[in-house]
Homo-oligomer: A and B are copies of this chain.
Amino acid sequence: MALKITALAGGTGGAKLVDGLTTLLEPDKLTLVVNTGDDFEHLGLAISPDLDTVTYTLAGLANPQSGWGRTDETWNFLQTLKEFGSPVWFRLGDRDLALHVERTRRMKAGLPLSDVTRAFCRIFGIDHVILPMTDDPVRTIVETDDGDLPFQEYFVKHSHEPQVRGFRFEGIENAKPAPGFLQAIEDSEAVILCPSNPWVSIDPILALSGVREALEGKVTVGVSPIIGGQAVRGPAAKMFQAMGITPSACAVAEHYQQILSGILIDEVDAELAPEIEALGIRTKVTQTMMKTQPDRKRLAEEVLAFTAELIEAESRR
């Protein structure tokens, strides 16, 4: 496995594949770029949900049940905060809170998010590079029938129930890709789009200035987050529907059509393979559900093998 890879990821699903990839690729062979459109300020704290999910996952601290936050967590802060009538819809555990307080402190002292993230990785013993997609503020707004909602309000406070009409990424025009992000793509033989929500996890990353240009001519491999027409977790399927598209692995492939060399889809969606191949996107059918730790590694192996095939095919053209 000598491939050099950049992987783009959001939260839970992305973090799982990323976890698998880190077991197969040395730190100098893999750069992880994580969505920060979900970031927000809450109770005066700078919170980066996707970054934290990836960080906690690679640190072996992620809570496997919830898909967010830490294991071995306590909730005395939040319980007390509730007595003050403060907003407690975003659940901050006592240990998790230390990360947010410390990140806020460092950012207020002038450090960019990417520096803070690098320092946290060092503290957590994570050798792989985790880059926030940008050091500049980008805020995903979900346009709904109940009005415009910052992503966490839509997702957590309103349990992703409001009817979606569209998305926008506030600040994206002025946001620069984090230092090292575009260089990582340039240095990589392939880019992997992890099985994260296309609309709100991967699209913000792709919308950053220069990213789509950097992907031109690069082997780009996706993993469908839609399995059997459903999202494994979260509102991805609902979002496709809201945008007038039947959710499917094929819809995911079409969504990324401009940049995608190949896509891995689940066995339950095998019948969609010809339709996706017809889009000019090479398709690999496999088990894509990651329920256990070994699933993560196995899927990562499949992704890398398929990517190697595509690079090989590309080089023969």
Contact = CB atoms under 8 A, between A and B. Distances in A.
Interface of A: 43-45, 73-74, 76-81, 83-86, 93-95, 97-99, 101-102, 104-105, 108, 120, 123
B101 A43 contact: yes
A216 to B, nearest CB: 40
Contacts of A79: 95
B77 A95 contact: yes
Contact of A105 (B44, B80, B94): B44
Contacts of A86: 98, 101-102, 105
B84 A123 contact: yes
Contacts of A85: 123
Contacts of A84: 98-99, 102, 120, 123
A102 B85 CA distance: 9
A94 to B, nearest CB: 4
Nearest to A72: B76
A71 to B, nearest CB: 12
Contacts of A74: 74, 76, 94
A94 B98 CA distance: 10
A108 B44 contact: yes
Contact of A94 (B43, B44, B94, B123): B94
8 contacts: A74-B76, A77-B101, A80-B98, A80-B99, A83-B98, A84-B98, A86-B102, A94-B97
B120 A97 contact: no
Contact of A77 (B43, B45, B77, B120): B77
Nearest to A79: B95
Pairs A-B, 5 closest by C-beta atoms: A80-B98, A76-B94, A81-B98, A94-B94, A80-B95
A273 to B, nearest CB: 46
Given A78-B98, A80-B99, A86-B102, 12 more contacts: A43-B101, A43-B102, A43-B105, A44-B105, A74-B74, A76-B93, A77-B94, A77-B97, A81-B102, A84-B120, A84-B123, A97-B97
B76 A101 contact: no
Nearest to A124: B83
Nearest to A42: B105
A73 B79 CA distance: 12
A244 to B, nearest CB: 40
A84 B95 CA distance: 11
A105 to B, nearest CB: 6
A80 to B, nearest CB: 4
A210 B74 CA distance: 47
Nearest to A120: B84
A162 to B, nearest CB: 25
